[in-house]
Structure 1
Amino acid sequence: MQVLELKSGDLLFIQASTEKLSRLIAASTQADMNQSNYTHVALVKRQNGNYFVLHVAPEYGCVRQTLTFFLADHPKQAIDVYRLTATKIDFEQVITRAESLLGQPYNHSFIKDQPGYYCSEFICEVFKPAAIFHEQPMCFGSQQTILPAWHAYYQRLGLPIPVGQLGSSPNSLIKENVPQNLAWLGRLRR
């Protein structure tokens, strides 16, 4: 399946898909057109020679899946592996924190005080003691604009667009932490 030797605590960054929400997130959060455009992030757990993925998805909420099942959910998307290089991270504690959140719902609003988590919010939360990832003011379009699809999205939710509120995205985690805290290991092969 994969060529890379994964470790607990590795992060899987998934590139944009053709799915509507993925395309919308990609269009809103890509900071550099020369970089990969990620719309999902997940955490690896290695246990007894088996690989599991802890993450949050709209259809599952906070979930633990086998790597095989996770890859089947993302059949055509490129998945890049990054490893945190900070030496003072207790990855057992990170995994324990992640597993304590399993079963929480997906936070469709991307607003912190709403129930549940979205993918990069989950990663920020589980790594909080290590102070690796930091939230940034959220954007919903380029150059201070809001893409029209976000207006319709939040109208359906009955909530205001949280533009400028603190939050995260897979792209913001990458932008903030490469090369100082995250090292690219390569792409998973199927």
Structure 2
Amino acid sequence: MKNADLLLIEPKKDDFSNLIANTTSVKHNYSHVALVYVNDGEEFVIHAIPNRGVVKQRFSQFLDDRKDERIDLYRVTRDINTNEVIGRAKKVLGKPYNNLFLNHHDSFYCSQLVTYAYELENVFELTPLRFGTNGEVDDQWIKYYQEYEINVPVDEVVSNPNSLVESKMIELIENIQ
């Protein structure tokens, strides 16, 4: 693994991970993404997770937390400034989790963190949020946003793990587990 590689995770058994994967899936079925950070030979991941926000975690612990999940390693196929990518990700460590999946930078969800870290490299394109198939909004998303007393933000242009994989500038390197 190298700095700025991406780990994409297929959903675990919980309903929310499956909702994300199923309503954003085009060719893949991922529900989470993390950024690889290698420091003096030690492997870490930087990712945004509910209830904890943006965290740096040892790779071994990351794997232990995801024993029953498929994890694929992706890499950007052109030269990038990996120090800049990792530096931008480290700069937002400790920020809260973005439960609303809106495109602002006072909180982050997983793929938003990745697109923010890669922003200066022009690897990923932002796309409209998908909340269901064929432009429809899944009832679970309507209930989810009702808890926050807002409408489902269907016009918000952001990212999700499955839209990241659609970039022509990344490739699958290997299945980690």
Question: TM-score normalised to the size of structure 1?
Answer: 0.90
Task: Please tell me the root mean square deviation across aligned C-alpha atoms, in Å.
Answer: 1.2
Choose the corresponding residue for 1:104, options 65, 75, 95.
Answer: 95
Matching residue's letter, 1:70:
F
Q: 1:101 to 1:147 in 2, by over 3 A?
A: same
Structure 2 residue aligned with 1:24: 19
Q: Do structure 1's residue 187 and structure 2's residue 175 form an aligned pair?
A: yes
Runs ≥4 in structure 1, deviation > 2 angstroms? Answer: none
Structure 2 residue aligned with 1:8: 3
Choose the corresponding residue for 2:123, options 132, 144, 157.
Answer: 132
Q: Which runs of 5+ in 2 are unaligned?
A: none
Structure 2 residue aligned with 1:3: none
Within 2, Cα distance between the matches of 1:59 and 1:76?
21
TM-superposed deviation, 1:18 = 1.2
TM-superposed deviation, 1:114 = 7.3
Choose the corresponding residue for 1:51, options 7, 26, 43.
Answer: 43
Q: Do structure 1's residue 71 and structure 2's residue 63 form an aligned pair?
A: yes
Q: Do structure 1's residue 93 and structure 2's residue 88 form an aligned pair?
A: no
Q: How many residues align?
A: 177
Matching residue's letter, 2:41:
G
Matching residue's letter, 2:151:
P
Indicate the SS of the match to 1:105.
coil
TM-superposed deviation, 1:59 = 2.7
TM-superposed deviation, 1:139 = 1.4
Matching residue's letter, 2:22:
A
Indicate the SS of the match to 1:52.
strand
Indicate the SS of the match to 2:60.
helix
Q: What are the Cα deviations for residues 10-68 of structure 1, in whole angstroms up to 9, with x where unaligned?
A: 10000111112101101210113xxx311100100111111000010003200000001
Within 2, Cα distance between the matches of 1:115 and 1:159?
18
Structure 1 residue aligned with 2:163: 172
Question: TM-score normalised to the size of structure 2?
Answer: 0.96
Structure 2 residue aligned with 1:154: 145
Within 2, Cα distance between the matches of 1:76 and 1:108?
24
Within 2, Cα distance between the matches of 1:181 and 1:113?
24
